[in-house]
Amino acid sequence: MGAQFWSVYIGCNFQDRNAVSATLEQIDVVYQMARRYPSVFLLQKLADDIEEAFAASRIASLMGAEGGHQIDSSLGTLRMLMNLVFVIDSYS
């Protein structure tokens, strides 16, 4: 396997700041996995970086959120999540 996509999905039963917090908890789980198994996983933000992980015999790990409620209607929250993980298309 050359890459995997982690969906940091939070159900709609979470709203407002609870949804943001739960999303950050999901992201933290992925980061912990990568730290625990550094010879296996390599966190990546760009689809173009998958080749780097593959060349290093590691699994490129990309993340994304599925629901708008996960940013609590905040562009600042969206920008910070993008800095953490959510840029996967280098052409956008």
Q: Which of 45, 38, 50, 42 is nearest to 64 (CA)?
A: 45
- Residue 86: pLDDT band by 50, 70, 90 thresholds? low
CA distance 8 to 30: 9
**pTM of whole model > 0.85?**
no
Strands, E assignment, 17-78: 41-43, 59-64
pLDDT beyond 80 at 28: yes
pLDDT attached to residue 65: 82
Between 5 and 16, the more confident residue is 5
pLDDT beyond 80 at 76: yes
pLDDT beyond 60 at 87: no
